[in-house]
């Protein structure tokens, strides 16, 4: 998402984003976009390819039979990149394709491919229209778990990403201007990382899941319920002197979860410009003697608003239901409100 954001900020389009052109190293957690000899520079370098099968935007496929100079012909651009980016993120997280469902539009397989990915393209998890929903009996036997959205619906990725998937594959599928930008994906992915919980089952294949916003959370992959109480922290920012507003960002707590500067202050934005100093944790959460506590490592102005007590660096505060903790008194500093789930 960051790489695509950077390209688009420079006025460029990649034109062929796909799993062949993105290399991910799971060990160093780094990703690299390659094959940029097909970069599209408006009015200078026109697109040379229309893309890779699973990732071509519907409008490009639908008009590919027209002449290159035809004004109705759609060619790869930033908006088609955004379709490919959404499809990539969906496939990485859910291990299936967002448009390859149960509907057959034409008995000729080539025509069917062009229709189902082009003019007639439809989200396999469309909330109102079941036309292209996955038919379980068509799945190959090893695909039945991830391939069937009834087992793992797209909503398990949490509220921020679900919202963008709906925007990309329902609202924006045939209306390119409504597709989420790369920056929106980056923000939603980062907020979602703050919602993940470790699964308590040692044999769970996934080991982590996104908190489902219920008072009795459980792992959607193996069905194991969460054990013990679970602090949910909602971040608030100071709107004016007396008013604090919710940030629409929440931090889930688990044993040895960290607190970072980008949680503490609105002035620190979690993007590619963070310094090594900014990436150092400023506090951590731990389950200590039967209680959840936040340990302040280096924040000078932390304060327990509920008890009206300072929390100096090196000390800790217990997380209890309804507790308010000011993380920083500086401009842009946030307040956390604690809710205890699963009590």
pLDDT digits (tens, 9 = 90+) for 133-168: 999 888 887 678 899 999 999 999 999 999 999 999
Cβ atoms < 10 Å from Cβ of 124: 22
Residue 107 has pLDDT above 80, yes or no: yes
Cβ-proximal residues to 186 (8 Å cutoff; 6+ apart), any chain: 1, 2, 5, 271
Q: Looking at the whole model, is its pTM more than 0.85?
A: yes
pLDDT digits (tens, 9 = 90+) for 182-215: 999 999 999 999 999 999 999 999 999 999 888 8
pLDDT digits (tens, 9 = 90+) for 253-269: 999 999 999 999 999 99
Structure tokens at 60: 């490009």
Q: Name the least confident of 25-39, 51-65, 153-167.
A: 25-39
> Domain 228-341 belongs to what topology?
Tumour Suppressor Smad4 (2.60.200)
Residues of the chain with pLDDT > 90: what percent?
Answer: 89
**Which pLDDT band, with edges at 50, 70 and 90, does 342 fall under?**
confident
CA dihedral for 163, 260, 325, 333, sign (positive or negative): negative
Phi, psi of 292 (to 5 degrees): -85, 130
Task: Report the half-sphere exposure of 5 (CA within 13 A, side-chain side).
Answer: 12
Kindly list the domain boundaries of the chain, sorted by start residue: 2-193, 228-341
In the CATH scheme, what is the code of domain 2-193?
Answer: 1.10.510.10
In this structure, what is the dihedral angle of CA atoms 202, 27, 217, 126, given to the nearest 10 degrees?
Answer: -130
Residues of the chain with pLDDT > 70: what percent?
Answer: 100
Q: Please, which residues bridge with residue 258 across strands?
A: 284
pLDDT of residue 213: 86
pLDDT of residue 296: 98
pLDDT of residue 23: 95
């Amino acid at each position: 998402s960051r790489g695509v954001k950077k390209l688009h900020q420079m006025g460029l389009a990649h034109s062929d984003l796909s799993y062949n052109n993105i290399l991910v190293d799971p060990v160093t957690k780094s990703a690299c976009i390659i094959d940029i000899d097909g970069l599209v520079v408006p009015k200078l370098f026109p697109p040379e390819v229309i893309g890779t099968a699973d990732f071509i935007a519907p409008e490009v496929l639908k008009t590919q039979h027209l002449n290159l100079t035809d004004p109705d012909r759609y060619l790869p651009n930033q908006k088609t990149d955004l379709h490919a980016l959404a499809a990539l993120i969906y496939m990485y997280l859910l291990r299936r394709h967002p448009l390859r469902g149960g509907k057959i539009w034409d008995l000729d397989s080539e025509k069917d491919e062009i229709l189902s990915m082009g003019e007639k393209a439809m989200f396999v998890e469309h909330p109102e229209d079941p036309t292209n929903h996955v038919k379980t009996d068509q799945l190959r036997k090893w695909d039945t778990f991830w391939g069937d959205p009834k087992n793992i619906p797209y909503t398990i990725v949490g509220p921020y990403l679900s919202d963008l998937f709906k925007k990309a594959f329902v609202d924006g599928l045939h209306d390119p201007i409504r597709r989420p930008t790369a920056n929106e994906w980056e923000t939603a992915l980062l907020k979602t990382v703050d919602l993940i919980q470790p699964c308590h089952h040692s044999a769970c294949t996934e080991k982590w899941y996104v908190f489902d916003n219920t008072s009795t959370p459980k792992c959607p992959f193996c069905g194991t319920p969460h054990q013990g109480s679970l602090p949910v922290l909602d971040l608030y920012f100071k709107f004016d002197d007396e008013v604090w507003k919710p940030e629409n960002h929440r931090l889930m707590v688990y044993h040895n979860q960290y607190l970072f500067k980008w949680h503490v202050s609105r002035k620190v934005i979690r993007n590619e410009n963070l310094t090594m100093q900014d990436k150092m944790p400023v506090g951590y959460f731990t389950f200590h003697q039967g209680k959840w506590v936040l340990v302040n490592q280096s924040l000078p102005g932390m304060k327990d608003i509920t008890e009206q007590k300072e929390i100096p660096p090196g000390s800790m505060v217990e997380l209890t239901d309804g507790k308010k903790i000011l993380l920083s008194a500086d401009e842009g500093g946030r307040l956390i409100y604690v809710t205890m789930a699963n009590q």
